[in-house]
């Protein structure tokens, strides 16, 4: 074989082998992305070490397949179960900043609510890069997933998941509009009684689940109310998000509500809709699961 032919064969072999590989200059190129505060956050490459300071963000990272990038989570990040094995960096108000810094994160992901806590300024003072996410409704969850995809290089996976989520939401919305909704109160907390208005995440879940929030028009996001006022409004059902593993405490809670709201239709018909609070209160990838759980329990 001539030297010329050997050179040609070598050249084409090199070209073909190169076509099957990702260009490292493309995958590692610098980029910037605006967070939900409108702050432009710059990256030299896709983050390889991420600390998540919110359960819904952690769930989102796992849902798009970026779990291997997660090096730290909060003590509340318990889903999926594998997330419990990640290094715990504390809670919202008692974060271990030394531990977070020792993990050498490329970015720390937090919610808008956490920007009002000391954590936000402390992380900034430590020179740790922060990216803020704000999932307030189903659209917000889809937006969060897309942002996580862009941050981690899992853009296609995130886009597919967010598109599926919005499609399912739209289908459930059409379904909920064809039936009369049950007049309902959601109990966020007791002593005092706290509920939620239409500005809250849970309100959209209720509407899609076939429930009409009797406190939707309250001027506050999470108003404190009285048993007397609830009795006057006379809900047909009571949505009670709770830690369903604590059966004894749950029974005490239901007995207390039943005693004070004994004349309401909800109590007369024993129409308590008990759901896992970790599912319905987290604006994350399980949002449609939350809707379906409620729909299956609505009488």
Query: Are 27 and 156 within one domain?
Result: yes
Q: To which residue do tokens 């597919």 refer?
A: 160
Q: Residue 116 pLDDT more than 70?
A: yes
Task: Determine the structural domain holding residue 136 and report its residue range.
Answer: 22-162
In degrees to the nearest 10, what's the CA dihedral of 237, 241, 242, 243?
A: 140
Q: How far apart are CA 129 and CA 261, in angstroms?
A: 49
Q: Residue 170 pLDDT more than 80?
A: yes
Query: Are 36 and 136 within one domain?
Result: yes
Query: Are 30 and 104 within one domain?
Result: yes
Q: Residue 160 pLDDT more than 80?
A: yes
User: Which tens digit of pLDDT belongs to each residue from 286-296?
Assistant: 999 999 999 99
Q: From its phi and psi, is residue 270 left (phi > 0), alpha (psi between -120 and 50) or beta?
A: left
Considering its fold, how many domains does the chain have in total?
2
Query: Are 31 and 141 within one domain?
Result: yes
Q: Residue 42 pLDDT more than 80?
A: yes
User: Which tens digit of pLDDT belongs to each residue from 178-206?
Assistant: 888 999 999 999 889 999 999 999 999 99
What pLDDT sits at residue 16?
A: 40
Q: How confident is the model at residue 51 (pLDDT cuts 50, 70, 90)?
A: very high
Rounded average pLDDT over 100-119: 94
Q: Which helix (H) or strand (E) holds 43?
A: strand 40-43
Q: ∠ CA 246-251-254 to the nearest 5 degrees?
A: 125
Q: Do residues 247 and 283 touch, judged by C-beta distance below 8 A?
A: no
Q: Which long-range contacts (CB under 8 A, 24 or more apart) does 190-196 make?
A: 190/253, 190/256, 190/257, 192/224, 192/225, 192/226, 193/224, 193/225, 193/226, 193/227, 193/230, 194/222, 194/223, 194/224, 194/225, 195/222, 195/223, 195/225, 196/221, 196/222
Backbone angles phi, psi at 27, to 5 degrees: -70, -25
Rounded average pLDDT over 33-60: 97
Q: What does 215-281 look like in DSSP terms, one character per residue?
A: TTT-SSSS-EE-HHHHHHH--SEEEEEE-TT-HHHHHHHHHHHHHHTTTSHHHHTT-EEEEEHHHHT
Q: How many CB atoms lie within 10 A of CB 16?
A: 9
What pLDDT sits at residue 244?
A: 87
Tokens standing for residue 174? 């059409």
User: Which tens digit of pLDDT belongs to each residue from 79-94?
Assistant: 999 999 999 999 988 8
Query: How many CA atoms within 13 Å lie on the side-chain side of 152?
Result: 30
Query: Are 191 and 222 within one domain?
Result: yes
Query: Are 191 and 155 within one domain?
Result: no
Q: Residue 9 pLDDT more than 60?
A: no
Q: Residue 47 pLDDT more than 80?
A: yes
Q: Which residue among 130, 162, 194 closes a domain? A: 162
Mean pLDDT of the chain: 90
Q: Residue 138 pLDDT more than 70?
A: yes
User: Which tens digit of pLDDT belongs to each residue from 261-285?
Assistant: 999 999 999 999 999 999 998 999 9
Q: What is the CATH number of the domain that holds 286?
A: 3.40.50.1980
Higher pLDDT, 28 or 182: 182
Q: How confident is the model at residue 28 (pLDDT cuts 50, 70, 90)?
A: low
Query: Are 58 and 190 within one domain?
Result: no
Model confidence, pTM: 0.87
């Amino acid at each position: 074989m001539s030297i010329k032919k050997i050179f040609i064969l070598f050249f084409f072999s090199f070209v073909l082998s190169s076509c099957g590989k990702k260009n490292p200059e493309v995958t590692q190129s610098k980029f910037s992305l605006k967070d939900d505060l409108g702050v432009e956050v710059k990256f030299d490459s896709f983050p390889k070490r991420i600390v998540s300071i919110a359960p819904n963000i952690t769930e989102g990272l796992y849902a798009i397949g970026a779990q291997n990038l997660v090096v730290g989570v909060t003590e509340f990040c318990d889903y999926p179960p594998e997330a419990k094995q990640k290094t715990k960096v504390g809670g919202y108000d008692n974060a271990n900043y030394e531990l977070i810094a020792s993990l050498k994160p490329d970015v720390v992901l937090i919610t808008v609510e956490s920007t009002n806590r000391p954590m936000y300024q402390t992380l900034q003072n430590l020179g740790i890069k922060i990216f803020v996410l704000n999932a307030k409704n189903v659209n917000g969850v889809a937006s969060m997933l897309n942002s996580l995809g862009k941050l981690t290089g899992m853009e296609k996976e995130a886009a597919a998941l967010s598109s599926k989520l919005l499609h399912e939401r739209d289908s459930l919305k059409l379904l909920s509009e064809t039936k009369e909704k049950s007049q309902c109160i959601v109990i966020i907390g007791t002593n005092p009684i706290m509920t939620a208005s239409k500005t809250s995440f849970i309100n959209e879940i209720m509407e899609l689940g076939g429930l009409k929030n009797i406190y939707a028009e309250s001027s506050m996001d999470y108003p404190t109310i009285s048993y007397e006022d609830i009795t006057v409004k006379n809900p047909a059902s009571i949505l009670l998000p709770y830690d369903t593993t604590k059966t004894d405490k749950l029974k005490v809670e239901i007995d207390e509500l039943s005693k004070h709201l004994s004349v309401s239709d909800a109590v007369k018909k024993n129409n308590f809709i008990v759901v896992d609070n970790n599912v319905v209160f987290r604006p994350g990838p399980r949002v449609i699961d939350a809707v379906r759980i409620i729909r299956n329990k609505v009488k």
